[in-house]
A and B are shown apart, each in its own frame.
Chain A
Amino acid sequence: MEYLTCNHMTTQEAFYSYIVRLGDDSLILGQRLSEWCGHGPVLEEDIALTNIALDLIGQTNNLYELAVSIENKGENIDQLAFLRLEKEYENLLLVEQPNVDFGYTIVRQFFFDVYRKLVFEALCNSTDERLAGIAEKSLKETKYHLKHSSEWVIRLGDGTEESHRRVQEAVNTLWKFTDELFFQDEVDQNVIELGLGVDNSNFKATWNSHVEHVLTEATLTIPTNSWQHTGGRKGIHTEYFGYLLSEMQYMQRAYPNMEW
C-alpha cells in the first residue's frame, strides 16, 4: 500500500479506520440483535432476527480480517472485537441503542439497512478488490434485511393503534441518530479520494426519500424536531455502550490470552 498523506493521516491508516468502522457497525448491531435470541415475539421472528445477527457477525469477521491485513499491528480479529477500550470503537450511535421492544429494534434496523444498502452498493465499486468482494456478499444479505425491516415497519405502523403508537415512538426516539449515518471526517476524505471508500453525502437524499416513502406507507411521520446527536465515529458513545461492552468483552477480559 502506498503512503499518500492527506492532513496528518496516511492512506493506510485511513483505510484501516474506515474498514474497522464498517466492522464496528456490524458487530455492535449483531450483538444487540443476538440479545433477542430465545425471546422473539414469534418463533419465526426469533429465527429471522438471529439470522440477521449471524449475517452481521459474519460481516464483522470479514471486515476485521481485511483491516488486520491492511495494517498489521500484531492484533487478531478477536482482539479487535473484544479488547478495545470504549473510545476505540467507532460505530454509529444508532446501532448501540438498546432493543427496548420489537418496534424499536425494527426501526433501528430499518434506518440502518437503508443506509447500509447504499453503502454496500457503492462499495461494490471500491478500488480495493477485497473490499468490493465483501461489499458484494454483504449487499445480498442487506437487501434481505431491508426487505424484512421495511415490511415490519409497514405492518407495525399500519397495524393496530398500539403498534402504531409504539413504532412512532421508536421513530421519534431514534431519529436523532440518523444524521450521523452521513458523518464524514478525514478518514472518509482520504478513502473517497482514492475510490477505496464511498462518499456517503451523495446518497443522503436517496436515504431520506426511501425512508420517507416507507414511513408514509406505514402511516408514520418523520419527527419535526431536528436536533441530532453524533459522536460514535469519534469514539464518544451513549451510556448504553459501556454495558454492552462489559458483557461482550467479559470472557476475553476475565481470561486473557487464551484460545476458545
Chain B
Amino acid sequence: MIGLYRPGTSVLHRMPTGLKLVCFIGASLAIATTTTSLWQVISALTFVMTGYACAGLSARVLASQVVAARWIILFMLAPQLLFLPAIDAVTNTARVALIVILAALFTLTTRIPDLLDATERACAPFRRFGIRPEAVALVLALTITSIPVIAGFAATIRDAQRARGIPPHRLSFAVPLLIMSLKHADDLADAVSARGIEP
C-alpha cells in the first residue's frame, strides 16, 4: 500500500516535498468531498492516472497499487453491495480506493529522508508545545519501515501454528504477534540509538 520510492526526474519527483504534500492532501480532500456520481469517479480516475503518467510511472506500477489496495476495495464493496444500490456502492468504494492509490503516488515519488525533512519543518511551530519535530518524523519513518516486518511476523506465526496443527484462533495469533512486535520495537530502538540518532 505504501509504494517504495522509484527514482525519477519527473515534475512530481522534483517538486518540493512540502508543497507536494499540501497538493496531495488538497487533491485527496477534493476527491473525498466531490466524487459522488459516476462521471465524477471517472474524472477523478483520469486525474489519478494522469498523475501516474506525469511521474513517468507505467500502467503496471499503477496496476500493482490497485492490487495492493484489493482488500480495502473488497472489504468496502462487499457489505455496501448488500445494503446500497450497486452504483452507490461502487462510487463509495472507488472514492476511497482512488485516495489510497493517490497516496501511493506520493510515496512512489518521494524519498523518505525528504519526507522526514518536510515533516520536521511542518512540525517546527509546535516545538513550543513540547513536541519534538525530529521525533515525529522518526516515528513516521519507522512506522513505514516496520509494516513489512510485522507482516512477516504474521506469516511466520501462521506457518508455525499450521505446522503444529494449532487451529487458527484470534487470540493464539494475536498474543505471539504482539510479543514479536514488542521485541522488534525494542531491538529497533537499540539500533536507532546505536546509529547516533537521538530518539
A and B found bound together: no
